[in-house]
C-alpha cells in the first residue's frame, strides 16, 4: 500500500486543518492524502494534494512526523507529515474529489479551517500525538 503524505501549514500561530464530520463524528485532520502511481515523488504527491484540497501551491519542507496509519481503510501504510509553506493560491478554493458533491452520508463533509495552536489542544485533531507536539 502507498504511503500517505500530509501538510503541516502554520501561519500567525494558526494551523490549517480539514474539518471533517463523518458517521456522527467530528474531527480535524491535516490536509493531504495518498501517493498515486503517477506522482514522481512524495513531495510532488503532497503538492498535488494541497492544490486539490486547499487550492494552494506549497513549498514542501522537512519531514516533521511519521506514524503508521491505524484507519481500517489505510491500515499498514505510513503517514508522513511535512512542514509546508503556502507560496501561491487562495485557501479554500480546492476542487478535489472531496468537494465534488459525493454522497455526504457516505463520505461526510470537508471544510478547510485555520485554527489557533492554543485552541487545538482541546480539539480532536488526528493524529493526537502530532496535535500535542505542535500545540
Closest CA to 112 of 58, 12, 46, 32: 32
Domains of the chain, start order: 4-134 (3.90.79.10)
Instruction: Give residue 102's pLDDT.
Output: 60
pLDDT score recorded for residue 99: 63
In angstroms, the CA 75 to CA 9 distance is 25
Strands (E) located in the chain: 4-11, 14-22, 25-29, 32-34, 56-68, 78-89, 109-116, 125-126
pLDDT of residue 119: 97
- Segments in the chain below pLDDT 70: 1, 98-107
Could you tell me the three cell numbers for 91?
A: 485557501
First to last CA, the chain: 30
Whether residue 14 contacts residue 114, with contact meaning beta carbons closer than 8 Å, is answered with yes
Query: Would you state the pLDDT for residue 54?
Result: 95
The span from the CA of 82 to the CA of 97, in Å, is 22
Amino acid at each position: 500500500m502507498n504511503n500517505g503524505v500530509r501538510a503541516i501549514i502554520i501561519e500567525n500561530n494558526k494551523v490549517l486543518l480539514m474539518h471533517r464530520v463523518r458517521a456522527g463524528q467530528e474531527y480535524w485532520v491535516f490536509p493531504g492524502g495518498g501517493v498515486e502511481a503517477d506522482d514522481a515523488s512524495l513531495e510532488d504527491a503532497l503538492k498535488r494534494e494541497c492544490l486539490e484540497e486547499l487550492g494552494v501551491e506549497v513549498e514542501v519542507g522537512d519531514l516533521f512526523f511519521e506514524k503508521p496509519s491505524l484507519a481500517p481503510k489505510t491500515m499498514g501504510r505510513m503517514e508522513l507529515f511535512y512542514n509546508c509553506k503556502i507560496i501561491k493560491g487562495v485557501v479554500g478554493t480546492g476542487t478535489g474529489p472531496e468537494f465534488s458533491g459525493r454522497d455526504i452520508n457516505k463520505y461526510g463533509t470537508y471544510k478547510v479551517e485555520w485554527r489557533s495552536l492554543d485552541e487545538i489542544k482541546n480539539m480532536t485533531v488526528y493524529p493526537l500525538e502530532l496535535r500535542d507536539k505542535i500545540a
